Amino acid sequence: MSLLPRTSSFAPARPEEILRPVNPWFILLTFLLGLLANLTPASGVMLTLKPDFLALVILYWCIQEPRYVGVGVAWLLGLVMDVGDATFFGQHALAYALLAYAAEYFRRRVLRFPLWQQAPQVAALLLLCALLVLLVRVVGGAPLPRWTYVIPPIVGALLWPLLSVVLQRPQRPMRSTAEL
């Protein structure tokens, strides 16, 4: 971070900065982009690495804007993802609802940390989500997946700092260059 110039917007907002209110349409747009990223075809190594972008975006908004995005919205998006992935109805919905609840529970705690320290906590939440899906599927008779199953949540957590900065960008106040 310190290598970047001080004027760079690629740093998280400092606590004393006042963010502008979020535009609900922007939230909707990010959900759409997350869904598109999830639907992008991948195979081989990319498929093993590919994180659940939609889950990440849901987690971000649940932590930042719990008034707009909560358990219900996450559940609906999960149903859409169930159709997109052709998995059983309710699988992603259940996982995303739990993710939203956990985010709401932990949000005050998570927000106190700098972004790079938030990443491990996000990893824990995403792994919890993956564990729930695993449980549901194994009870339903599916075989245990390979160990690579835990890679996407970790990749997702590594992307968290970048994602947070990008999603926060439109809310950063405009500052005159004289200030810097």
Partner 1 sequence: MRHVSVEPPPFFHRGPSPLARLAFFGLISLALLFADTRYRYLEGLRTAAAVVLYPLQRAVQMPGEAASWVGSYFASKHALADENAALKQELLTRAPSVQGYAPLMDENARLKGLLEMQARFPGAARTVEVLYTGRDPFTQKLFVNRGAESDIKPGEAVVDESGVVGQVTRVFASMAEVTLITDKDHAVPVRVERNGVRSVFFGAGAGRAPELRFMAPSADIRPGDKLYTSGIDGTYPAGLAVAQVETVERDTGQIFAHITCKPLSGADRSQYLLVLGQGAAQPPRPEEPAEVESAKKGGHGKGRRGG
**Residues in the site for partner 1, rule: CB under 8 A?**
13, 15, 17-22, 35-43, 47, 50, 67, 70-72, 75, 78, 80, 83-91, 93-94, 97-98, 100-101, 104-105, 136-137, 140-146, 148-149
Residue 124 has φ and ψ, to the nearest 5°, of -60, -45
34/161 with CB nearer partner 1: 34
Q: How far is the CB of 16 from partner 1 (least distance, A)?
A: 8
Q: Which residues of 41-73 are buried (b: 16+ CB within 10 A; e: fewer)?
A: eeeeeeeeebbbbbbbbbbbbbbbbeeebbbeb
| Structural tokens at position 158 | 């590594």
CB 52 within 8 A of CB 126: yes
Q: How far is the CB of 54 from partner 1 (least distance, A)?
A: 12
3/147 with CB nearer partner 1: 147
50/128 with CB nearer partner 1: 50
